[in-house]
């Protein structure tokens, strides 16, 4: 739904963004988001996974905000303050920017705009920014890719129950990530049965992940 307060913010050329986002998802680079004054990620009640490589961040998290292991091995979650702010957020700045967790480095809210989604939960600051992003298109090929990403995301949202539970396709984030990884399946209007499209998406996702 259009937001009356939304002011357009340049998200950059779609093709360049898509290639960079795919590289981020492959672990080849950090995200480079023109956030400007937005601090949505850091004030939106996000528990942040701490990966094994987040050694310095993990060492600095106050005990009260370490929520415990997730899954197996040394995986922890960093909690947030009662008002939703990250414990490292001071005066609108990250107190451990140089050592911030990899999850913070990977986050790019333009993925929701590209997929035509907003994050799950009550995250109005991020939602506002997602509605503000406007991509530019340098070719019809980029427009076709953008349309395919949106079709893929819509498909995942409508058919989440057909995906394996491990994919957690019911979340907006997972739908957006799946769409960015497997959008080529939707480069043309696809009339195949949903089960077949799910299989093709999962094949592409496996290939994408194997290329990491």
Residues of this chain that interact with ligand SF4 (CB under 6 A) are 33, 35, 38-42, 48, 86, 88-89, 94, 96, 100-101, 104, 107-109, 126, 129
Least separation in angstroms between residue 19's CB and ligand SF4 is 18
Q: Which residue lies nearer to ligand SF4 by CB, 108 or 145?
A: 108
Least separation in angstroms between residue 105's CB and ligand SF4 is 8
CA-nearest of 45, 38, 126, 42 to 83 is 45
Least separation in angstroms between residue 94's CB and ligand SF4 is 3
Least separation in angstroms between residue 78's CB and ligand SF4 is 7
Angle at 144 between CA 138 and CA 146, to 5 degrees: 80
Q: How many angstroms separate the CA atoms of 129 and 11, rounded?
A: 10
Least separation in angstroms between residue 24's CB and ligand SF4 is 12
Q: How many angstroms separate the CA atoms of 136 and 24, rounded?
A: 20
Neighbours of 55 (CB within 10 A): 12
Q: Which residue lies nearer to ligand SF4 by CB, 109 or 185?
A: 109
Q: Which residue lies nearer to ligand SF4 by CB, 66 or 96?
A: 96
Q: Which residue lies nearer to ligand SF4 by CB, 131 or 157?
A: 131
Q: Which residue lies nearer to ligand SF4 by CB, 15 or 101?
A: 101
Least separation in angstroms between residue 88's CB and ligand SF4 is 4
- Which stretch of DSSP H or E encloses residue 89? strand 89-90
Q: Which residues contact 59 (CB under 8 A, 6 or more apart)?
A: none
Q: How many angstroms separate the CA atoms of 47 and 84, rounded?
A: 9
Angle at 118 between CA 115 and CA 119, to 5 degrees: 115
Q: Which residue lies nearer to ligand SF4 by CB, 167 or 180?
A: 180
Phi then psi dihedrals of residue 135, to 5 deg: -80, 155
From the centroid of its chain, how far is CA 138?
23
């Amino acid at each position: 739904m259009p937001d009356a307060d939304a002011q357009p913010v340049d998200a950059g050329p779609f093709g360049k963004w898509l290639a960079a986002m795919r590289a981020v998802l492959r672990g080849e680079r950090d995200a480079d988001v023109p956030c400007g004054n937005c601090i949505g990620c850091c004030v939106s009640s996000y528990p942040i996974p701490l990966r094994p490589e987040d050694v310095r961040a993990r060492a600095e998290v106050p005990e009260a905000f370490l929520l415990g292991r997730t899954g197996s091995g040394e995986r922890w979650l960093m909690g947030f303050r009662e008002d939703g702010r990250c414990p490292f957020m001071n005066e609108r700045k990250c107190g451990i920017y140089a050592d911030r967790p990899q999850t913070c480095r990977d986050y790019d809210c333009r993925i929701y705009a590209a997929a035509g989604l907003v994050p799950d939960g009550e995250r109005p600051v991020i939602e506002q920014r997602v509605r503000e992003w406007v991509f530019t298109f340098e070719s019809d090929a980029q427009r076709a890719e953008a349309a395919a990403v949106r079709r893929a995301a819509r498909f995942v949202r409508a058919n989440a129950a057909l995906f394996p539970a491990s994919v957690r396709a019911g979340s907006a984030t997972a739908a957006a990530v799946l769409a960015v990884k497997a959008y080529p399946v939707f480069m043309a209007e696809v009339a195949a049965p949903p089960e077949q499209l799910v299989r093709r998406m999962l094949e592409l996702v496996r290939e994408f992940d194997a290329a990491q």
